Amino acid sequence: MAKPEGMILPGATLGILGGGQLGRLFVLAAREMGYRVMVLDPDHNSPAGGLANWHLCAEYDDVAALQRMARECVAVTTEFENVPADTLRMLSANCPVRPSAQVVATVQHRIYEKQWLQAQGFATTAFAVVSSEDDLASAAELTGFPAILKVARFGYDGKGQARVACLDDARRAFAEMGKETCVLERLVGLYKEVSVVLARNAMGETVCFPVVENQHVNGILDISIAPARVDAALIEAASATAINIAARFDYHGVLAVEFFVTTDGALLVNELAPRPHNSGHYTLDACLASQFELQVRALCNLPLGGVSQHTPAVMVNLLGDDWQSGRPDWAALLCHPQVKLHCYGKESARPGRKMAHFTCLDASVAAALALAQSLQGSLKEHG
């Protein structure tokens, strides 16, 4: 195979903005492949910073830290979408930044994201922009009730959103959110939630991991089932839509597209994540290459591939709630050879904070799910 133009080979220094669990898993993949990694994160105890070659402990707009990253890194990526777009623009003047500042600026703002999706012809839930309390009545006429009110920026894992059943509920929720600009979304009849994680490099080569079925508790991902228990037509439609979104963006990197499958069979785009995604963690153990290896490959403009799944898998999130009465009963997990445990190296366990995950592998999705649910229950009883 001919060497692609702009390929970045092992031995080079890669940069990543953000040092949480996604950054940590990127660092592990990159270092295993022979790259050096510089992490920029303001947390002294950054999970990724502790494993990187260099941890720049600074804010994301720290000029001196960014100048050093731009000088020493041959390419830069991000582990979360709330990095200032201006930071990405500054770095891109000196080295490739994947994904681009323009993409991140769109996706980190719910209004811009939904307006872009709508303009491109992708189906979403009905929504309306709420900039002031006076907008709520007209917004509700468009969406109806029940609905969900979400802040336009910095909401994730169920934070910054509220279900509302009437206009008075919406007014109260808007006030509790500090009257920040919000999106009011129609609450659809939900059959399943699924997601597609894909990678696309600078040559336009694109690969999709198998479609994943997701179950949430309190707005936080609880379980991911791979492959999703949906029909082939829906799998094809979700994958094709995700690939089309990446192409329209001219996206470079790993992208996750979350979908609602409604009770009447419609496939609606819910949210985009311009990075590896929690629902793609099963790829660490069940696929030829993980989403983090593909993040490295896409950043370095290497050929992609390796996305086929060799074993049915179910991933279970472990939150800080499971630590409130002491450490989880790791023996309950590790005595099963089909279980893979991944701890994120976080020092403090807070309720709702993602601390670790485990993946159950078995000959069928049903068997993997039964084992995952049994172990999840035993850990809660232990806690």
- What CATH number does domain 190-382 carry, 3.30.930.10, 1.10.3720.10, 3.10.580.10, 3.30.470.20? 3.30.470.20
pLDDT in tens, 338-367: 999 999 999 889 999 999 999 999 999 999
Tokens of 375: 């172990």
227: cis peptide before it, omega within 30°?
Answer: yes
- CA–CA separation, 115 vs 138, rounded Å? 18
pLDDT in tens, 63-120: 999 999 999 999 999 999 889 999 999 999 999 999 999 999 999 999 999 999 999 9
Q: Is 153 exposed, middle or buried (0-12, 13-18, 19+ CB in 10 A)?
A: middle
85: helix, strand or coil: helix
pLDDT, position 155: 62
pTM attached to this predicted model = 0.95
* Residue 306 in this model has a pLDDT that exceeds 90: no
Q: What is the mean pLDDT of the chain?
A: 94
DSSP 74-119: SEEEESSTTS-HHHHHHHHTTS-BSS-HHHHHHHTBHHHHHHHHHH
pLDDT in tens, 203-256: 999 999 999 999 999 889 999 999 999 999 999 999 999 999 999 999 999 999
- CA–CA separation, 186 vs 6, rounded Å? 44
- Residue pair 216/233 in contact (Cβ under 8 Å)? The answer is no
pLDDT, position 6: 85
pLDDT in tens, 135-157: 999 999 999 999 999 999 876 65
Fold of 13-97: Rossmann fold (3.40.50)
pLDDT level of residue 269 (50, 70, 90 thresholds): very high
262: helix, strand or coil: strand
Kindly report the backbone phi and psi dihedral angles of residue 327, in degrees, each rounded to the nearest multiple of 5, phi listed first: -65, 150
Q: Say what the alpha-carbon torsion angle 374, 379, 382, 383 is, to the nearest 10 degrees.
A: -140
* Residue 328 in this model has a pLDDT that exceeds 70: yes
- CATH code 3.30.1490.20 region(s) in the chain: 126-186
Domain 126-186 classification at class level: alpha beta
Which residue's entry shows tokens 């830069």? 76
Tokens of 358: 């485990």
- CA–CA separation, 313 vs 287, rounded Å? 10
pLDDT, position 122: 98
Which residue's entry shows tokens 């979304």? 185
- CATH code 3.30.470.20 region(s) in the chain: 190-382
Percent of the chain with pLDDT over 90: 89
* Residue 2 in this model has a pLDDT that exceeds 60: no
Angle at 276 between CA 273 and CA 282, to 5 degrees: 125
